Structure 1
């Protein structure tokens, strides 16, 4: 598999705490949403692929084993929103709101 985040695949990602990991995922989700809202499906898809890559790294991180349920559900909800039929009725607003606390916590943990 070819990683888009090669430096993170080499171990940097696993050195981050969950707050920084989720804040980074949230930033990519924000990019995917912005491109989707602008009507650029190609860039939105590329950003979503980066989201999935970061989410897979987070799921694989051993220190996050207690959060596997939430992380896997997040993957399901994001997939439904970006490439599915949006059966969960997600919106850009509620997806962004989900990630705001992680951004705040990541800044406080620095």
Structure 2
């Protein structure tokens, strides 16, 4: 699986977590949040990304955890991360279309 595909999948779970959080459904939010972290952790431990990408992946995890679990209770703007993940989803889709 390409890095774009892996991060596109993380982004899908990120969107689900955001949506469930906005709806106030704690159980579904927690499931999506845990799944998102599982996918991101799998990406971080992927040996192919043990290079300059590792720092960005670990920082991404920190930013996501701060957004959802941080002590700062101010409303956060999730547009930056949504845009970040969107680009990976688009790239993954275009790479998949090229293979067909």
Q: TM-score, normalised by structure 2?
A: 0.86
Task: Quote the Cα distance in structure 2 between the aligned partners of 1:97 and 1:86.
Answer: 22
1:103 aligns with 2:100: no
Structure 1, unaligned runs of 5 or more: 1-15
Q: TM-score, normalised by structure 1?
A: 0.79
Q: Which residue of structure 2 aligns with residue 49 of structure 1?
A: 34
Structure 2, unaligned runs of 5 or more: none
Q: CA deviation at 1:90?
A: 4.3
Q: CA deviation at 1:86?
A: 4.5
Q: Which residue of structure 2 aligns with residue 85 of structure 1?
A: 71
Task: Quote the Cα distance in structure 1 between the aligned partners of 2:50 and 2:72.
Answer: 27
More RCO (CA 8 Å, sep 6+): 2
Q: Which residue of structure 1 aligns with residue 46 of structure 2?
A: 61
Which residue of 1, 10, 17 maps to 1:32?
17
Aligned residues: 94
Task: Quote the Cα distance in structure 2 between the aligned partners of 1:86 and 1:79.
Answer: 12
> In structure 2, do the counterparts of structure 1 residues 60 and 37 end up closer, same or farther at CA, with 3 Å as the change threshold?
same
Task: Quote the Cα distance in structure 1 between the aligned partners of 2:40 and 2:55.
Answer: 13
